[in-house]
Amino acid sequence: MKIICIGRNYAEHAKEMNSEIPTEPIFFMKPDTALLRENNFYYPEFTKDLHHEVELVLKVCKHGKHIDREHAHLYYNEIGLGIDFTARDIQKACKEKGLPWEKAKAFDNSAILGNAFFPVSELQDPIEFSLRKNGDTVQKGSTADLLFSFDQLIVHISKYITIKTGDLIYTGTPEGVGPVQIGDQLEGYIGEHSCFKLDIK
């Protein structure tokens, strides 16, 4: 199983990062050891600026390579919600040196995944999602604002990498990313459905 994450898939998030709006999807990967499906997350000792990025997550249901646009929707059947935790201080240092991001993005437990998954056919279009920190809404997203649709992501990724059943695709975060502290509680929603509740320890 692999985790593929999309960078800068919402224009407002690219702006808040002072980054260019991409002309094709940007992707990077996290190893299976990044996945955390429990309620407790332990703040890593190597960062002082851990950021939440709430993201819709596609569950891949079919093996494929060089998938065309017309068939792309057949390759994911369920959508859930997760967090792409990012050590922003480390990411910034990597970017400045032109180095890969793995230290900042792919560490253990950096991919939070809620247990709730919804069949694509049951979700209203556009899909609205949000993240609350200690009860306050800090991020709100809608698939109406995606720069690259889920189908476009499947086409692009599968040009380079075979996708397999069970793979997860984190589809990018909307604006409002920000720091978390020990003691915070994060709760993610698709519409009104609570998908995960996470305590930072």
- Site of interaction with Zn ion (CB under 5 A): 53, 84, 173
Q: Per the structure block, which two tokens stand in for 86?
A: 């990012």
Q: Please report how close the Cβ of residue 5 comes to Zn ion at its closest, in angstroms.
A: 5
Return the number of the residue (3 or 155) whose C-beta is nearest Zn ion. 3
Instruction: Compute the Cα dihedral for 15, 161, 65, 36 and give only its sign.
Output: negative
Return the number of the residue (53 or 151) whose C-beta is nearest Zn ion. 53
116 close to 190: Cβ distance less than 8 angstroms = yes
Q: Please report how close the Cβ of residue 121 comes to Zn ion at its closest, in angstroms.
A: 26
Q: Please report how close the Cβ of residue 61 comes to Zn ion at its closest, in angstroms.
A: 22
Q: Please report how close the Cβ of residue 200 comes to Zn ion at its closest, in angstroms.
A: 18
What is the rounded distance in angstroms from the CA atom of residue 195 to the CA atom of residue 82? 8
Return the number of the residue (91 or 173) whose C-beta is nearest Zn ion. 173
Q: Please report how close the Cβ of residue 74 comes to Zn ion at its closest, in angstroms.
A: 25
| Peptide bond connecting 174 to the previous residue in cis, omega within 30 degrees of 0 | no
Return the number of the residue (155 or 169) whose C-beta is nearest Zn ion. 169
What is the rounded distance in angstroms from the CA atom of residue 51 to the CA atom of residue 97? 20
DSSP-assigned states of every residue in 90-128: HHHHHHHHT--SHHHHSSTT-EEE-S--EEGGGSPSSPE
Q: Which residues contact 99 (CB under 8 A, 6 or more apart)?
A: none
Return the number of the residue (158 or 171) whose C-beta is nearest Zn ion. 171
